Amino acid sequence: MKQAEKKAAALGAENTFLLIAIEYLDKMAQEGRAEATLSKARWLLSKLRPAIGHRPIAEITPQELLAVLKKEETAGRRETARRMRSFAGRVFRYGVATARATHDPSHLLQGALIAPVPKHHAAITDPNELGALLRAIDAYAGQPTTLFALRLTPHLFQRPGEIRRSEWFEIDFDDAIWTIPAERMKQREPHRVPLSSQSLDILKQARGLTGHGRYVFLRCAAGPALCQKTP
Alpha-carbon distance values, 2 to 9, 179, 187 (Å): 10, 63, 52
Indicate if 99 and 140 belong to the same structural domain. Answer: no
State the average pLDDT for the chain: 87
Question: Exposure pattern of 189-204 as b/e (b: 16+ CB <10 Å)?
Answer: eeeebebeeebeebbe
Whether residue 77 has pLDDT greater than 60:
yes
Whether residue 104 has pLDDT greater than 80:
yes
Our count of domains for the chain comes to 2
pLDDT the model gives residue 9: 57
pLDDT digits (tens, 9 = 90+) for 16-40: 999 999 999 999 999 988 788 899 9
For residue 38, what are the contacts with CB-CB under 8 A and spacing of at least 6?
25, 28, 29
Whether residue 70 has pLDDT greater than 50:
yes
The dihedral over CA atoms of 36, 56, 99, 107, expressed in degrees to the nearest 10, equals -60
Which of the listed residues 76, 109, 142 is the one where a domain comes to its end? 109
CA-to-CA distance for 119 and 201, rounded, in angstroms?
Answer: 36
Indicate if 28 and 95 belong to the same structural domain. Answer: yes
Indicate if 85 and 14 belong to the same structural domain. Answer: yes
Q: Name the β-bridge partners of 191.
A: 180
- pLDDT band of residue 159 (cuts 50, 70, 90) is confident
Indicate if 44 and 93 belong to the same structural domain. Answer: yes
Alpha-carbon distance values, 54 to 15, 17, 20, 67, 88 (Å): 9, 6, 11, 16, 14
In a domain, 120, yes or no: no
In a domain, 122, yes or no: no
pLDDT digits (tens, 9 = 90+) for 33-65: 878 889 999 999 999 999 999 999 999 999 999
pLDDT digits (tens, 9 = 90+) for 164-222: 889 999 999 999 999 998 888 777 788 999 999 999 999 999 998 898 889 999 876 54
Looking up residue 39, the CATH number of its domain turns out to be 1.10.150.130
Domain extent at residue 158: 127-228
